[in-house]
Chain A
């Protein structure tokens, strides 16, 4: 089984993000880390590969020259990586990202594509479904439990109240939730082996995209302004004079909680 896992390298969430004054884009440092939500996708991929004699190939788009996050995922046990690292990709919107990743995945061949539900820096949460649409295969989202084999994939799809069992023929695209599995820690052996694993470096051009198809130009959108979010307002303290419960009920009704 050929398993493609989409991973994203992001600036370390432990350090404050910096926005470029002109483009309003996040300034991407040299040493980006693996998005924590992608550790779940990688783990699901590795478990399915172990159960189905499969291979795990990582796909990542990253106009930063960074390899640290990719190496983290390789150290967990993925077999190889395809990295589309090209300055022309800077400022690409979600749909452009999906087009580029889908093109790279199609070029390599796949039975199953796995991605996290949403990235920790952009939070658009639409790339997996867009990739499925472009590749013309079913998309399964919010997967918290995954089984695959015999040409099909079965998941438990997390819902607000429980889960649905969803089944699809392969090939398909799968978006997994954080908490679906317990991601393994890379071992020292894994870290040493990651250094030797192949990373194919592609440009947008290698996948048939012109400079105007990708990046800010190709995205058909621009960030016109950025403003800090409003600080949190102090909460209302309700003193209990025997009637506090009425005020609380009224507040809950106001916010449509009850």
Chain B
């Protein structure tokens, strides 16, 4: 088995790591505290080409493999999960549906700015009463002449209300048994972005509820085929699972690096706390979790890049890496003791931020469902 990364992957990892250290690390605590979405830094990530990594050069992308995107997300997450999820959601949920299923006109209109990181797009699937259970979508879109008239609401939509947001793609019922996806440009009358949520973590990531009241968009804003657009989109969900797992690897690495440094520096009873097994063994466990998660994630990415089936590998990687990240942030906080409980410490921020990794883009329970079905079990 060989899923080694190339010299170019390593060189790029180093560049993104340096970028995160220089452009994100000095400010991340402040953004977390003030709940500020740092649009200027997101644009700098755009200049670095991060939003265009896996997309066609025709629209300004890099045509890189999926592994490269995972590397970028991991390196950013090591410093700031909010900006890592901004990148993950922008590429996987914002750009990907248009890049995969958009008409030429839609691609030409929207992709250049999105791929360059000058604009962001959100994907509105979740509603107050339905999450992954998309069959219960209540938002409706009715064709009136050459316009869709949209009514309903969406919940927890990432990147939907920033100053850079150019559109959201939403799922809506277009017939009794028919769910379609439609592009709604920002600023369309009848499309209201609610104030940001009070979240436990990911404070610098932009998340809103959306309300549509007789919101009218042109008929040609239908994305993909009528009644099939949503199912087409579902086929790309496995990618997002690997990407979230890569984000979790960044968190794990950060917990390991921070804890290792602290275990050597911090003294208790005249010796470094790392000389006590109680602490040393926790750090050893962090190393094991980090290494295991890393191997699962980059194996899944390699399977995808080499054109092999990867649904099961993606679910396994997402489940293990995100649960390990939550465990690791709890243990790292424990190693830091009282300092770890201080809101401004990196491990405290990671601890608050990590929990949602077990929830977003398919909960741990959904992953277990996918995995057990993948094993051939007739589980409901």
Contact = CB atoms under 8 A, between A and B. Distances in A.
A195 interface: yes
B49 A187 contact: yes
Contacts of B47: 184-185
A83 to B, nearest CB: 17
B62 interface: yes
A189 interface: yes
B135 to A, nearest CB: 39
A71 B19 contact: no
Interface of B: 8, 11-12, 15, 18-19, 47-49, 53, 57, 62, 64, 68
Contacts of B15: 75, 185-186, 191
A31 B11 CA distance: 12
A188 B53 contact: yes
13 contacts: A184-B47, A185-B15, A185-B19, A185-B48, A186-B11, A186-B15, A187-B62, A188-B8, A189-B62, A191-B8, A192-B62, A192-B64, A195-B8
A46 to B, nearest CB: 14
Given A75-B15, A186-B11, A191-B11, 15 more contacts: A71-B11, A72-B11, A185-B15, A186-B15, A187-B48, A187-B49, A188-B12, A188-B49, A188-B64, A188-B68, A191-B8, A191-B15, A192-B62, A192-B64, A195-B8
Interface string A177-197: 000000011111101100100
Interface of A: 68, 71-72, 75, 184-189, 191-192, 195
B8 A192 contact: yes
Contacts of A184: 47
B22 to A, nearest CB: 9
A188 to B, nearest CB: 5
A75 B62 CA distance: 14
Contacts of A191: 8, 11-12, 15
Contacts, number: 35
A189 B64 CA distance: 8
A225 to B, nearest CB: 34
Nearest to A75: B11
B212 to A, nearest CB: 37
A215 B378 CA distance: 74
Contacts of A187: 48-49, 62
Contacts of B48: 185, 187
Contacts of A186: 11-12, 15
A189 B18 CA distance: 17
B10 to A, nearest CB: 10
A188 B62 CA distance: 7
Nearest to A71: B11
A120 to B, nearest CB: 15
B16 to A, nearest CB: 8
Contacts of A195: 8
Nearest to A72: B11
Contacts of B12: 186, 188, 191
A192 B64 CA distance: 9
Nearest to B8: A191
Contacts of B57: 189
A195 B8 CA distance: 9
A68 B8 CA distance: 11
Contacts of B11: 68, 71-72, 75, 186, 191
Contacts of B53: 188
A89 to B, nearest CB: 25
Closest 9 CB pairs of A and B: A187-B49, A188-B62, A189-B62, A191-B11, A188-B12, A191-B8, A185-B48, A188-B64, A185-B15
A222 B156 CA distance: 68
A195 to B, nearest CB: 7
A186 B19 CA distance: 10
A210 B190 CA distance: 79
Nearest to B63: A189
Nearest to B11: A191
B42 to A, nearest CB: 15
Nearest to B65: A188
A127 to B, nearest CB: 26
A195 B7 CA distance: 10
B18 A185 contact: yes
Contacts of B68: 188
A195 B6 CA distance: 12
Interface centre among A71, A186, A187, A188 (most CB of B within 10 A): A188
Contacts of B62: 187-189, 192
A195 B49 CA distance: 18
A130 B238 CA distance: 59
B64 to A, nearest CB: 5
Contacts of B19: 185
Contacts of A189: 49, 57, 62
Contacts of B8: 188, 191-192, 195
